[in-house]
Amino acid sequence: MLIIASANGAVGIDAAMRVLKNGGSAIDAVEAGIRLVEANPAERSVGYNGYPNILGQLELDASIMDGKTLNSGAVAIMRGFPYAISVARQVMDRKLPHVMLAGEGAERFAREIDAEQWASMLSEEVKAIWRERLIENSALLDIDDLDDDTALLDAVVLATDPERVAGTVNFIVIDGNGDICSGVSTSGWAWKYPGRVGDSPIIGAGNYADNRHGACACTGMGEMAIRACTAYGLVSYLRAGLPIGAAGHKAMRDLRDLDGDFIGGMNLIALDREGNHVGMTTRAGSTYIYQHAEMDAHREKEREFVEIPARWAGEERLRDDGSYC
């Protein structure tokens, strides 16, 4: 039994391990672990209290994949329901002839299955941060004049690359039967354009699991993982016979080869069916966590750094110390 997760999964990994030790499945463990991250008010890019879109609305994306059957469920741009991973799981378990529900349809489904709904999804503190961001940039967007007809195209440059906000939770679990499940949940980019869908709910982009080979999940600039099919790409390299480290480097290489004006930070965690795992990142020093059933507590491990020069609106972006951000 093994759990690997993004570092912000620390609040959920104990609960996930308890599920496994009590005989629960990898799917149960992924859901239990991610729910605790979604409910964590300190986490600004997952579930309750994530940074909202440019209009101040919190829109959640999540997906879950069962590596045994390759069944999966996903929700995108869902408002008002904090436990997006549980709704995604129900999309998978209720045997709808669908894999992903988005927007009002996802919310309708969540109501129908009695998913927990919260009247307020943002703390006053996060609302104030959002207001401040808009007030600072009042030339682009007037906070007192936001409605369905407000032009947002120019203001989209305010969107904050997810790497700078550091968010999205990834969990990948191998249970006592050797079954693998992967789950991802996020509120996406801060100040994103309303309706923007990232990689997290897209099977093959931000999330993929296949018992026969392994699994991969991503955080970072989702548009890149969508374009490179990163999660499936890595698993396909395992399928081709590469060891986990080489498969990870190939998937990161595919990301590095992307062209275009918006290239940001990317991170992945992955494991093979034997439980060998890896974390990779474009931000040096970033970590992920893992725990085997025999361990009393999880351990944190530095991800392998892979340089992908960042570009924003076509310009190379450097930190003060000269490293890319």
Chain residues in the site for ligand ASP (CB under 6 A): 45, 162, 167-168, 186, 188-189, 198-200, 206, 219-222
The burial class, CB within 10 Å (0-12 / 13-18 / 19+), for 93 is middle
Query: Helices (DSSP H) in 94-243: which residue ranges?
Result: 103-112, 124-136, 162-165, 222-228, 230-239
How far is it, in rounded angstroms, from Cα 265 to Cα 21?
A: 35
Greatest Cα pair distance in the chain: 57
Place of tokens 């007809």: 149
Place of tokens 């939770």: 169
The answer to whether the CB of 48 falls within 8 A of the CB of 20 is: no
Task: Tell me how far, at minimum, the Cβ of 22 lies from ligand ASP, in Å.
Answer: 30
Known catalytic membership, residue 150 = no
φ, ψ (nearest 5 deg) of residue 124? -60, -35
Helices (H) and strands (E) in the chain, counts: 9, 15
Amino acid residing at 253: R
User: For residues 68 and 192, which CB has a smaller minimum distance to ligand ASP in the complex?
Assistant: 192
Give the residue from 134, 179, 187, 123 showing the smallest Cα distance to 156. Answer: 134
Look up residue 5 and give its two tokens.
């997760």
Which amino acid, residue 166?
Answer: A
The SS3 call for residue 304 is: strand
Please give the single-letter amino acid code of residue 5.
Answer: A
* Closest by CA position to 71, among listed 47, 88, 54, 50: 88
The identity of residue 261, as a single letter, is: D
Which residue's CB is nearer to ligand ASP, number 168 or number 211? 168
CA distances from 258 to 226, 255, 316 (A): 11, 5, 14
Q: Which residue has the tokens 């045994």?
A: 68
Pick the catalytic residue: 168, 219, 230, 282? Answer: 168
Catalytic residues: 168
